[in-house]
Structure 1
Amino acid sequence: MVAERATALGHQVTKIAVANAIEALACFVALQALQGNRDSRVRGSTKLAGRTLQEFSFQNASRPSFYVSQPMRMATVTTLPALGLVEASGSRFNGFSCSEAGLAFVEAASVEYRPYNRSLVDHLLQWVLGKDDRLNGDALPMALSPMTPLPPEALVLLRERLHQGAPTSQSWERQRRSDALHWVASRGLGAAPVDWKEKPALIGNASHWADMRAGAYFFAARDAAHDVLNAVETHMGTPENRLSLASKVPKRAHAPLTELREKTRAFLDLEHEDMEANTFCREVVEQSDMEILRRLVDRDGRILRLVGQHICAGPAFQGSREETSEVDIEESPEPEELEWPENISYRIPNIWWLSQDLDGRLSDCLSPSAEDELPEVAYG
């Protein structure tokens, strides 16, 4: 929305750059309020450490190195179109434009806050244009902070989007999403464990539960395949080394390969109809260990790649070095009292957290450090 208006005024900015800069600012003001505490709703505690509000011109905040390399925005690429909050000309974020439902949601979420006697969107537009860098006061931090609860009207609109989805969504998609939301919302802390053997009553369609189960089994096979590739990468050690397809499989890959075969057989035993998943799993159970390695590397191409009859380092190769990352991500905390079926899609726990937020119970589920009343902070 802000990027579209800036572009209409002749400024060449991308939607990704604007969204990342606004997210960086939002997390910064939240971190200032946290004063050293952590909250799973806020990213950038490492990347933004030591920065001051005076550094937050749009020109600075929109630089790729200014904020985390995997912002929260990246997780919205499939969600926003599915809920009808944007109109998408493709699958890329830069191809999104706010729908009427999206505009209504932003208005409802920000109507209570008027930084410098402007709407939130108007002030952020002036910030992006470089015409007003004022970021202090109370209204802007409260409007942007991921820790600020949504107003009731915005919650109503969000719940409506969750149940209705995009105008182009099929009825079965809407029903499945509604069933999943009702099911997870019914599970309070300390709820009895659930496994794949019995479909919950609130999941109305047996095929929905079967698809969720098949997805979990395939996720397990996918993770096992990653473990195989990681073992080969570690065996190679440095980018200069390579592994001949005519040689023996490295010993450190034996156990991961055995695990991969077990996971793929378990998926095939479900007799699910997903053709691509079945093809992958059959390739594993029917081929030799080295042929499995060859096919996995051929599918990968990033960490490892095929060059003739050798497995070589790819552009993302790390080898035996300790894993390093600039990604500043705090995973959503998972209550120890709440158990999900093994390997269930990450979307299900995420929907559970969202349901707690919609019902005003989120603060009761977060860590004590996030529940404590935070001191007031001057943003001058």
Structure 2
Amino acid sequence: MNSMTWGLCAPATVPSIRRTRTLQLNEIAARFNQLAVPGLGGVWFARQIVMALQGVWIARQLNNGTSNIEAANAIEALSCWKGYVEGKQRDARLRGFNKIRKLHAKDLTFNAARKRTFYVTIPMRMGTVEALPALGFVTPQRSFNAFDCTATGEQLLRLDKGQQALFTRWIAAPDSIATRAVQPSYEALSSDACQLIRSQLQHAGSETDSQRRSAALAWMDRLRQSRPARIRWEKRPAEITVEHWHDLQAGAYFFATRAAALELLERLEVEMAQHHSGVCHDLRSPLSPPLLDAIQHLRQRAQAFLLLQHPDAAARQFCHECDQPPAAVLRALVERDGHILKLNAEQIEPGNAFRGNSAADTNQDEDAVEPPSAQDFWPEHLSRRMHNLFLLNLDLHGELSAWLDKGKVA
């Protein structure tokens, strides 16, 4: 994936847009994330929901050709700029560090902010595409631009009506200078707004989805009040059902297998680039000890998933492919790749995105910023949605800023 169309739905965790190995596993990953915390998407703090919702409501109310995406992205950009003006620098709830941090108010007209190049290409709004309809704040539609606020969504916005009025006046007069009276993106919502979001997490959607979110939220409450040294799969939390816990563990083991597969392909790519006789790799040739070790590690990860006997057939198929003799493992993974490495009979050849240096894959673009995660007690490779729910729950209790400021989140 070399580019991402502006405004399309995005996954809960957005990968590098420069060079990405999906291995045709995105749909499986999405299913395990959905099983973990249904409908949460990439939301991890409360104002992220409100900024996106404000954009939808204002664009619909003005009906002047402004799209939902333009309004929401501009509101987010202005809110982040205000955070920088107040002296914040590196906070995961602030984006556009390189683009908007040093701008003056006169530079922040809506006509400027609505342009695609003004702000980051992957705004925090994109993490709300799934959550807004799932939590009942907008009518379900295929795209963000088609969203319209529900009565519940309008109720949430009325709890922040002062900000709503400021943003409406700014967007309605697109050449006017931005007001400094807007709240920064990290500003906590009112207790009433937080309570409404919490209620939607507990009750919106199907019975199965709401029960899973409600149970996970209860677990987050306990973790917030009493943080364990380490959460282990052998000890299921009382709030989580056996089935839900099994899905969480299977998801973590699948993500671990995927990570090991990606590490193996990166190592193979580096070795191919360093090979003096050419960059191709013959599947019939002996493998280096590091590659054999990487394959063995991958097989162990895959076997751990298969032992759980999870019903996801596509995930089982992938893990079976990873639990084969070395040459068969490489063949299967390269067939899934086909973008950075490709298969030609018994030869693995460089694909269009081949670089041969895994360090070159590092995306220095600020768009790659991910939500912070409390990595000190979670099981390895647990769905990021559970991390996000923990942070969101902190925010709904007014504790997120203190948590971040104390450096408790890595």
Q: What TM bracket, shorter-length normalisation?
A: 0.7 to 0.9
Contact 1:2 1:124 in 2 (8 A): no
Contact 1:193 1:340 in 2 (8 A): yes
Which digits, 9 at most, give the CA deviation of each residue in 1:317-365, with x for residues without a partner?
A: 44315334313455444457x5122321111121111111111222331
2:161 matched to 1:111? yes
Instruction: Choose which of 22, 27, 30 in structure 1 pairs with 2:80.
Output: 27
AA matched with 1:193? R
2:144 matched to 1:101? no
AA matched with 1:41? R
2:233 matched to 1:233? no
Return the offset for 1:79: 1.9
Contact 1:232 1:250 in 2 (8 A): no
Residue matched to 1:283:
321
Residue matched to 1:158:
197
Structure 1 Cα separation of the partners of residues 209 and 242 of structure 2: 14
AA matched with 2:76? E
Structure 2 Cα separation of the partners of residues 217 and 199 of structure 1: 16
AA matched with 2:212? R
AA matched with 1:298? E
Residue matched to 1:293:
330
Local SS of the residue matching 2:366: coil
AA matched with 2:161? V
Residue matched to 2:107:
55
Return the offset for 1:298: 2.8
Structure 2 Cα separation of the partners of residues 95 and 294 of structure 1: 42
2:216 matched to 1:180? yes
Return the offset for 1:76: 1.8
Residue matched to 1:374:
none
Return the offset for 1:312: 4.3
- Between 1:74-83 and 1:174-183, the stretch displaced more is 74-83
Return the offset for 1:105: 1.6
AA matched with 1:206? V
2:366 matched to 1:327? yes
Contact 1:69 1:326 in 2 (8 A): no
Q: Unpaired runs of 5+ in structure 1? A: 371-380
Return the offset for 1:221: 0.6
TM-score, normalised on structure 1?
A: 0.80
Contact 1:87 1:97 in 2 (8 A): yes
Residue matched to 2:121:
69
Residue matched to 1:260:
298
Local SS of the residue matching 1:292: helix
Return the offset for 1:315: 5.0
Which digits, 9 at most, give the CA deviation of each residue in 1:86-110, with x for residues without a partner?
A: 22322x43343332222222222x2
Structure 2 Cα separation of the partners of residues 318 and 154 of structure 1: 48
* TM alignment of 1:191-210, pairs within 5 A: 191-203=228-240, 205-210=241-246
Which digits, 9 at most, give the CA deviation of each residue in 1:293-330, with x for residues without a partner?
A: 23223323443344666544445544315334313455
Local SS of the residue matching 2:327: helix
TM-score, normalised on structure 2?
A: 0.75
Residue matched to 2:28:
none
Q: Unpaired runs of 5+ in structure 2? A: 1-53
Return the offset for 1:260: 1.0
Contact 1:194 1:341 in 2 (8 A): yes
Contact 1:195 1:341 in 2 (8 A): yes
2:154 matched to 1:135? no
Q: Against the structure 1 CA distance between its residues 318 and 157, is the aligned structure 2 distance closer, same or farther, given a 3 Å change threshold?
A: farther
What is the aligned residue count? 349
Q: Percent identity?
A: 35
Residue matched to 2:138:
86
Contact 2:60 2:68 in 1 (8 A): no
Structure 1 Cα separation of the partners of residues 391 and 403 of structure 2: 9
AA matched with 2:85? Q
2:390 matched to 1:352? yes
Contact 2:95 2:366 in 1 (8 A): no
Residue matched to 2:50:
none
